[in-house]
Amino acid sequence: MRIVIEQIARILPEDRHKWWMDQVGAVSWESCFLIGMNADAELIQALKQHIQDRPELEWEHHIYETPKTLWRIQNIDAPPMDSQAEKDWKTQDKATPWVWVGEGADRTAVLESKL
- Same-domain status, 53 and 81: no
26 CB contacts (<8 Å, ≥6 apart)?
32
- Same-domain status, 57 and 83: no
- Same-domain status, 59 and 96: no
Cα Rg of the chain, angstroms: 18
- Same-domain status, 37 and 58: yes
Among 67, 22, 26, 18, smallest CA distance to 48 is for: 26
In this predicted model, what pLDDT tens digit does every residue of 40-70 receive, in sequence order?
566 667 777 777 778 888 878 788 888 888 8
pTM of this prediction? Answer: 0.60
65 or 102, greater pLDDT: 102
For CA atoms 10, 66, 19, 38, give the dihedral sign.
positive
Residue 104 belongs to what domain range?
Answer: 72-114
Residue-level pLDDT at 111 = 92
Q: What distance in Å separates the CA atoms of residue 108 and residue 94, rounded to the nearest whole number?
A: 19
In this predicted model, what pLDDT tens digit does every residue of 3-28 receive, in sequence order?
787 878 777 788 888 877 777 665 44
